[in-house]
Amino acid sequence: MTATHHPTPDLFALSDLRGPVLRPGDEGYDAEVATFNLAARHAPDVVVGATGADDVVTAMRWAAATGTPVAVQATGHGANFPMDGGLLINTARMTDVSIDVEARTATVGAGVKWRLLLEASVPHGLAALNGSATDAGVVGYTLGGGLPLLGRAYGFASDLVRSLQVVTPDGTLHETDADHEPDLFWALRGGKGNVGVVTSLVTGLVPLSRVVGGGIYCAGEHAEPLLRAYADWAPTVPDEMCTGFTLLRLPPLPIIPEPMRGRFFARVAVAWTGDPAAADPLLAPLRAAAPVEFDTVADLDYRKVDEIYQDPQDPIPARECCALLRDLTPEAVDTLLAQTGPDAGEDYPLLLVELRHMGGALAEPAAVEDAVCARDAAYLLESVGVLAGPEAAAAVEAATAALYTAMAPYGTGRTMVNLHGTPGGQADRARAWTPEVHDRLRRTKSTYDPQNLLRHGHTVAPVP
């Protein structure tokens, strides 16, 4: 992105902005713009470390007055494409959390991570609809719809949003819910960051403090029998059984426990919200499908759910991608194994290839209409490759393209915006929504962001 370079933002100095305003070369700039995905190194002209909604209002008013494009981040987990020029608003300091136990709701600031929310809610017997890594931010994840760890049991994270506080690109602070500016409320639940910068949200919580969770691991050479058993088993389980099948090629790095370091595994990750005593009988067909090397499934305090998927906790340079699948037919299984299974070779470059089982509550319409377009999918296919140098990056890109081309016949033609990966042109970005929702999102964008200031990352263009 080419951006006009602006002089020192004196408007900030004249305001009551409480957070830092930094430019390239200033002390603290690099830390302020750092991302979790090291492949996306942001280089904005100006970064504002917002401490509250007032700072975001001031920053957005300056951006509107100067025509400066804007991006926003909190934890940096959503960074898939580097920002060059413009204004970056960092909301990581906005970490207020409050729990209303009686109403079963949480009010969270824009910089809150799921981990912080769970620490506040679980002691009250209440859980949030977080994803597989609690280091991610609540707001950015939820704006993309959010595919929760417990999605089959409770639905998308956006389904539980009650209200949002958002600053639109003209610098106006809005309080929106189903009854107040419903188009804005609609677009912010599944439409990602297209119409404003969310400063806080109120989300519902579910009555849960423990879960049966963990992983059933087999050596990668047994991927075929485990995957075929999983494909037969998954459609038969209750909605309370939330699972994913993963092919893991773990690098020989010290951060990985010794028994698993440098090895290839097939795994079924499990999160069961039903009767704990019923978990083992339900999982028996998977445990019998292939020799089990590690079985970590156990009754867990919900604050320990990171133990289920064991997602990376440290920043890495990565290329992720996803596709929504209609079904997991025998032909789809054959194709996936041919692309990514044991016969793909020891040098196969993708760290992770994963199928998340959908359906259940994820297939139910939202109580209040939103922009999520994944309710018709049976599975989500996701991949991650580590970009460890130019040769590795080229290999990851080639393997990613080959995988999704091969699996396209089994897909819905769409992606999920949070896991889409590097956003391409408008046609590529539009794949996160149906044509009807994409058109409505563009019209809503035209209402709230006619200058297209929020055009970094996975955004849509306003209608001319």
Residue with tokens 């050479």: 221
pLDDT in tens, 349-380: 999 999 999 999 999 999 999 999 999 999 99
Q: What angle in degrees, to the nearest 10, is found between the helix axes of 223-233 and 279-287?
A: 140
Q: Residue 288: count other Cβ atoms within 10 Å of its Cβ.
A: 10
Domain of 81: which CATH number? Answer: 3.30.43.10
Do residues 136 and 279 share a domain?
no
Q: For 35-39, 53-57, 339-343, which range has the lowest pLDDT when averaged over its residues?
A: 35-39
DSSP calls for 437-450: HHHHHHHHHHHH-T
Domain of 135: which CATH number? Answer: 3.30.465.10
Q: For 63-67, 125-129, 329-333, which range has the lowest pLDDT when averaged over its residues?
A: 63-67
The sign of the dihedral angle between the CA atoms of 204, 133, 350, 248 is negative
User: Which pTM was predicted?
Assistant: 0.93
What is residue 262's predicted lDDT score, i.e. its pLDDT?
87
Q: How confident is the model at residue 15 (pLDDT cuts 50, 70, 90)?
A: low
Residue 458, in any domain of the structure: no
Do residues 181 and 70 share a domain?
no
Residue 148, in any domain of the structure: yes
CA distance 131 to 308: 11
Domain of 215: which CATH number? Answer: 3.40.462.20
Q: How confident is the model at residue 260 (pLDDT cuts 50, 70, 90)?
A: confident
Do residues 76 and 203 share a domain?
no
Q: Are 155 and 362 in contact (CB under 8 A)?
A: yes
Which phi and psi angles does 333 have, rounded to 5°?
Answer: -60, -45
Do residues 168 and 232 share a domain?
no
Do residues 221 and 245 share a domain?
yes
CA distance 24 to 2: 16
CA distance 140 to 131: 12
Do residues 350 and 383 share a domain?
yes
Please report the beta strands in 115-240, taking only residues with DSSP state E, as ranges in sequence order. 126-127, 161-167, 173-177, 197-204, 206-207, 210-219
Do residues 255 and 358 share a domain?
yes
Do residues 220 and 365 share a domain?
yes
In this model, does residue 3 exceed pLDDT 50?
no
User: Residue 325 forms beta bridges with which residues?
Assistant: 379, 411
Do residues 285 and 397 share a domain?
yes
Who's near 309: CB < 8 A, 6+ residues apart?
A: 132, 133, 149, 215, 244, 246, 269
Do residues 49 and 116 share a domain?
no
Per-state percent for the chain, helix, strand, coil, to nearest 5: 35, 25, 40
The whole domain housing 379 covers 210-419
Do residues 294 and 305 share a domain?
yes
Do residues 310 and 179 share a domain?
no
CA distance 86 to 247: 39
pLDDT in tens, 157-202: 999 999 999 999 999 999 999 999 999 999 999 999 999 999 999 9
Residue 367, in any domain of the structure: yes
What is residue 12's predicted lDDT score, i.e. its pLDDT?
55
**Number of structural domains in the chain:** 3
Q: Are 363 and 154 in contact (CB under 8 A)?
A: no
